[in-house]
Amino acid sequence: MQSQQNPPEQLIEPEPKQKAKAQDNPIDIFFKEFYAAYLEHVKKAQGAALEEVQGLENTLALNLHIQRLQQIFLAVTKLEQSGESDSFEGMLIGPFDGYGSIRKFGAQALFSCSLLSGGEIFGSLFRGRLVGEWLEEGRESRKGEILKTSEGFYALCVWDGQQDLLFVDNEALWFTENYSQAQLPLEQTPEDWASWRYFNGTFIEAEAFSKRITEGE
């Protein structure tokens, strides 16, 4: 006769601890939102740039403006969360070699990057305003500022003494290469300061849309 044996008791294994969900890089989130709004218009502008010399010049100036903003902000957008803390840090991935970190304090984020070239980039994100400054020995300070408002995005860049301003709303791009004011023109309409706008597939110079406003009055 076979001996009856009780089946072995099944061991209950403890459930593995769930890891906290990694946070997204706050600078990356904000910059991508701005860039997506910009791309909605610029994809159409590429075709118009080939049709006339002025359109090409406008497109090149706009591309240079965006490239400079990317140089100030893009490297820090690649930093990943450090453990389960509110910090993001690591080696920079992008056009620079160095080390960067982001510290979150509630809705605010501070970032800094030390470049192997000897320069540094630092800035903050607070209440819909992303600002950054790039300091390097022997060169003028380069600064970038992107502000999100209910109407759209302002993007200001100061580079080697030149100050350019872009405004992106749902309908058009507004741009000027020589913005002379110390603050963003939040109390003005884009027609008051822009050199041109790209609207509905067409570049319109300041004289043209200013004239339309006058005639409309």
Per residue, what are the HEC states of 95-162? CCCEEEEEEEECCEEEEEEEECCCCEEEEEEECCEEEEEEECCCCCCEEEEEEECCCEEEEEEEECCE
**Structure tokens belonging to residue 210:** 């200013």
Helices 26-49 & 53-77, crossing angle to 10 degrees? Answer: 160
SS (H, E, C) 50-114: CCCHHHHHHHHHHHHHHHHHHHHHHHHHCCEECCCCCEEEEECCCCCCEEEEEEEECCEEEEEEE
Ranges 15-24, 157-166, 174-183, 195-204: which has the least confidence: 15-24
Phi, psi of 145 (to 5 degrees): -145, 125
Predicted model pTM:
0.83
Phi, psi of 160 (to 5 degrees): 50, 45
For the chain, percent of residues with pLDDT exceeding 90: 52
The residues, ordered by sequence, that sit 6+ positions from 215 with a Cβ below 8 Å of its Cβ are none
For the chain, percent of residues with pLDDT exceeding 70: 79
Residue 37 has pLDDT above 90, yes or no: yes
Span 128-148, mean pLDDT?
Answer: 94
Predicted pLDDT at 45: 59
Residue 215 has pLDDT above 90, yes or no: no
